[in-house]
Amino acid sequence: MKKPVVMTLVLSSIIVLISSLIFYGSPATTIPRTLAPMQSCSCSADDGTCSVSLECQGGCEKSCSNDNNCWAYCSGFFESLGTETTFEMQNGTYGKLVAELARLSGKNIAFSPAKQLPPFVLGFKQAALWDALEFLSDRGTVQIDGKDFESLRALRKSLLSGDRISLGVQNTPVSTFVNDMAGISGLPLRVAAGRPMSVVNVDIQAATLTEILAKVSEQTGTKIVEGSVEPTAPQAP
């Protein structure tokens, strides 16, 4: 007569286990993180000389002008160009240099030398990643995440020479935008006042870099300046 009691206990245990899974969930179950939605980023020059289109998981920055110079990048792409690099190579090869720059930047970097190049001795101390990429670009063709580095050099030249460009920025924190502009221009830009996570959404036509930064400052209620952080004045005793 003890057998029915055993069956009752087993059935009770199963019911409790099922109830636990229903109300509390399996301990091995994890809820996946929600990814930012994909956002389309595209533009075309008025005269039809060029156009560009891509999708970004978040914000993007784009420009299409009538000189066959169209570009678009996901926000944060330029930021790594200002990353400080410090390393030395004795009897180095370009394959080793490319691998080191890819490791430091977290980017996919490809290099095609213009000619056969001998081993070299090379050193960078607190130099921007941009400087190392220029070293390579002077000796062949460089691509960073599939983008031609020469087009980035042309963009930097335009920004620093005061050329007017058209720029669209979508759904991008102002701190990310400023870091991007610092990376591509080489200037020590920073957000000095306001909320650095304020979102930039602007479409600026035919403006210099100075005018672009002023427009973004106005739209986000921030202050963007060029220069390092000012030292805090000593307090009187």
Element spanning 47, H or E? none
Domain ranges within the chain, ordered by starting residue:
38-77+150-226, 83-144
Among all chains, which residue has been given the structure tokens 């595209």?
42
The three-state secondary structure class of 236 is coil
**Contact (CB, 8 A) for 152 and 180:** no
One digit per residue, pLDDT tens: the chain, 237 residues? 444 443 333 333 333 333 333 333 333 333 344 456 677 888 888 888 888 888 998 899 998 876 777 889 999 999 999 988 888 888 888 888 999 899 988 899 999 998 887 888 888 888 899 999 999 999 999 999 988 999 899 899 989 999 998 899 999 999 999 999 999 999 999 999 999 999 999 999 889 999 999 999 999 999 999 986 554 444 444
Look at the pTM and tell me if it is higher than 0.85.
no
The amino acid sitting at 43 is C
Provide the token pair at 49: 């000389």
Compute the radius of gyration of the chain from its Cα atoms. Answer: 27
